[in-house]
Amino acid sequence: MAFSLYNTLGRKTEVFTPRMSGEAGFYGCGPTVYNYAHIGNLRAYVTHDVLVRVLRERGYRVTHVMNITDVGHLSGDNDEGEDKMVKSAEEARKSVLEVAQFYTEAFFRDTEALNIRRPDVVCKATEHIDEMITLIKRIEAGGYTYLAGGNLYFDVTKFPNYGELALLRLDELEAGARVGVDKNKRSPHDFVLWFTKSKFENQALVWDSPWGRGYPGWHIECSAMSSTYLGEQFDIHAGGIDHIPIHHTNEIAQAEAGYGKRPWVRYWVHNEFLVLNKGKMSKSAGGFLTLQTLVENGFDPLDYRYFLLGAHYRSQMQFSFDALEGAKNARASLLDKLYAVAGRTTPEEAAAAETAGFAGKAADYLAAFDTAIDDDLSTPRALAELWGLLRDSSVAPAVALAAAFRMDRILGLRLEEAAFSRKADVVDGAFAAEIEQLIAERAEAKKAKQFARADEIRAHLKERGILLEDAKEGTTWKKA
Ligand code: AMP
Ligand code: ZN
């Protein structure tokens, strides 16, 4: 099976065929850095990461571009509300750029902890104002804009394909749309390309432009920055499903109006939401969970990655600490299996097995894994193949380990680092029985007042990475 993706544009799963053979240009909408990323946002970035890893594994030279929104994103995606960055800076009594710097660093700490690889290009909106102005000028030259109240708007009625991605119908929209607060708009779905001082007198960051001193709308950032690095047409664009009806719809309108080519982007990939029991998680509504909250509750960031991989990216996920606990336990068992396999081989043997290539059962597991991944990134099915492989004692340990590492190049659970760095932790069935035996022997020794022998057993186990704890009920052991 060739690598296939569900394309929101057209609503069907399609074989991925890049514009240029062997290359893949990918843009994923990045964070607005006015606050920490919440764990719902991080689901989007784990999805992007898996997608990029798969493209690389399938041999494409990938250029992964991600923006950092540090200006222009209002609390409503529809040009309504306050500027998120300005509001956050005012509350923190800091400059917008200080706030942006702080949360950008926090964002990359989170993504690093989740083993999300850094995009090849990370671009800040504030550093690409010229590119945005150039694109807006082209849109204006094409006759798609009007000035009202000092702002420059995109006139959606001039763009016949408006709403194609979201399957919107303008006539229905006109009738059904709620009246926006922005009275300058001729149609409720028109949107701002460039704000001037007519709105947000307190906007800290402003630039000169042909339409006056002001700042760009949020949508234009993504159209201009993605095409700056990936060309006027490119392969894949991703984001959460919330972006289908407004943000991505507007990005397409701007880019296709400005560059005059269709389709601007060939494949649109959207992840479903992570929701709390109570409902939607949102930064602006406050009360959201961060990765740090999970860590403070005793979870490893990779437990959360494992939790996310357990669902298909297009299924809505309910978050609860119980469900995360389940993922944590499952990952711990998976690692135990891995340690047990690693304990029966060496890094050199595993490397040799990878070089030799896979045959038999291991090849079957890998093929099933690839089929699952190629079928629109089915990570739950892929994980099941990893489990099957590690449980299957008929696969030689070195081969099983090498195959697991290969799977993990896509899953990103840091299995290779874990397998050998914690080899001392390996407690397979035989060792566990030996420990119990030594504990019993030590109890006997103590009873017979042979304390030197009892201490010797404790020291011996410590040397092998096992700590004993004496309690009234008896002696227990744990890994050091
Ligand atoms: P933002 O920083 O608000 O622009 O959002 C960053 C990314 O997270 C976007 O791709 C959103 O579509 C996505 N996103 C926002 N909320 C959620 C959620 N609860 N679950 C999954 N993805 C989300
Ligand atoms: Zn975007």
Q: Report CA(192)–ligand 2 centroid distance (Å).
A: 15
Ligand 1, residue 31: give the atom nearest the CA. Answer: 2
Judged by DSSP in three states, 103 sits in helix
Secondary structure element (H or E) that encloses residue 84, with its range: helix 84-92
Contacts of 353 (CB under 8 A, 6+ apart): 396, 398, 399, 401, 402
At residue 423 the predicted structure's pLDDT band, cuts being 50, 70 and 90, is: very low
Q: Which atom of ligand 1 is nearest to the CA of 73?
A: 4
In this predicted model, what pLDDT tens digit does every residue of 372-419 receive, in sequence order?
999 999 999 999 999 999 999 999 999 999 999 999 999 999 999 999
pTM: 0.86
For residue 302, the CA-to-ligand 1 centroid distance in Å is: 19
Cα distance between residue 102 and residue 109, in whole Å: 11
* Residues 358, 199: Cα–Cα separation, whole Å: 63
Percent of the chain with pLDDT over 90: 74
DSSP string covering 3-44, please?
Answer: -EEEETTTTEEEE---SSTTEEEEEE---BTTSPPPHHHHHH
Q: Distance between alpha carbon 305 and the CA centroid of its chain, in Å?
A: 9
Cα-flanking dihedrals φ and ψ of residue 202, to 5°? -85, 5
The predicted model gives 73-102 an average pLDDT of 78
pLDDT at 231: 98
User: Would the pLDDT of 156 be above 60?
Assistant: yes
CA of 341 to the centre of ligand 2 (A): 44
**Sequence-ordered list of residues with C-beta below 8 angstroms from that of 299, at least 6 positions apart, any chain:** 324, 328
Nearest-CA residue for ligand 1 atom 14 is 41
- Note the pLDDT of residue 424: 43
Q: Which tens digit of pLDDT belongs to each residue from 326-363?
A: 999 999 999 999 998 998 899 999 999 999 999 999 99
Q: How far is the CA of 240 from the centre of ligand 2 (A)?
A: 10
Q: How many angstroms separate the alpha carbon of residue 281 from the centre of ligand 1?
A: 9
pLDDT computed for residue 472 by the predictor:
78
pLDDT at residue 316 in the model? 97
Q: Where are the domains of the chain?
A: 4-271, 320-479
The token duo for 188 is 């409720």
DSSP codes, 205-216: --B--TT-SEEE
User: Considering the domain 4-271, what is its CATH architecture?
Assistant: 3-Layer(aba) Sandwich (3.40)
Predicted confidence band of residue 473 (pLDDT cuts 50, 70, 90): confident
Average pLDDT, the chain: 90
d(CA 278, CA 43): 18
Q: Length of the chain, please?
A: 480
pLDDT (tens digit per residue) in 61-73 = 999 999 999 886 6
Both tokens assigned to 193: 């390309």
Mean pLDDT throughout 224-243?
98
Please tell us whether the domain made up of 320-479 is placed in CATH 3.40.50.1820: no
Residue 145, CB half-sphere, CA atoms under 13 Å: how many? 21
What would the mean pLDDT of 300-322 be, rounded to a whole number?
97
Query: Residue by residue, what is the 3-state secondary structure of 441-476?
Result: HHHHHHHCCCHHHHHHHHHHHHHCCEEEEEECCEEE
Say what the pLDDT of residue 85 is: 78
How high is the pLDDT of residue 310? 98
Q: Which atom of ligand 1 is nearest to the CA of 243?
A: 12
Ligand nearest to the CA of 317: 1
pLDDT in tens, 9-33: 999 999 999 999 999 999 999 999 9
Q: State yes or no: pLDDT of 179 exceeds 70.
A: no
Mean pLDDT within 187-214: 83
Mutation probe of ligand 1 site: the residue of 42, 45, 242 with most atoms within 8 A of C-beta = 242
Q: CA-to-CA distance for 301 and 40, rounded, in angstroms?
A: 14
Distance CA 249, CA 117 (A): 27
Classify 397 as helix, strand or coil: helix
Residue 175 has pLDDT above 70, yes or no: no
On whether the CB atoms of residues 419 and 408 are closer than 8 A, the answer is no
d(CA 411, CA 49): 9
Distances (CA, A) of 282 to 75, 288, 297, 332, 423: 11, 6, 21, 30, 41
Interval between CA 251 and ligand 2 midpoint (Å): 7
Which atom of ligand 1 is nearest to 281's Cα? 19
Q: Report the pocket of ligand 1 as residue ranges, CB < 6 Å.
A: 29, 31-32, 40-41, 43-44, 239-240, 242-243, 271, 273-274, 281, 283
Q: What is the mean predicted confidence (pLDDT) over 203-214?
A: 88
Compute the distance from residue 316 Cα to the ligand 2 centre, in Å. 21
Q: What is the CA radius of gyration of the chain?
A: 27
Residue nearest atom 7 of ligand 1, based on CA coordinates: 41
Whether the per-residue pLDDT at 471 is higher than 90: the answer is: no
Which sign does the torsion angle of CA 223, 73, 123, 266 carry?
negative
Cα(364)–Cα(382) distance, rounded to whole angstroms? 12
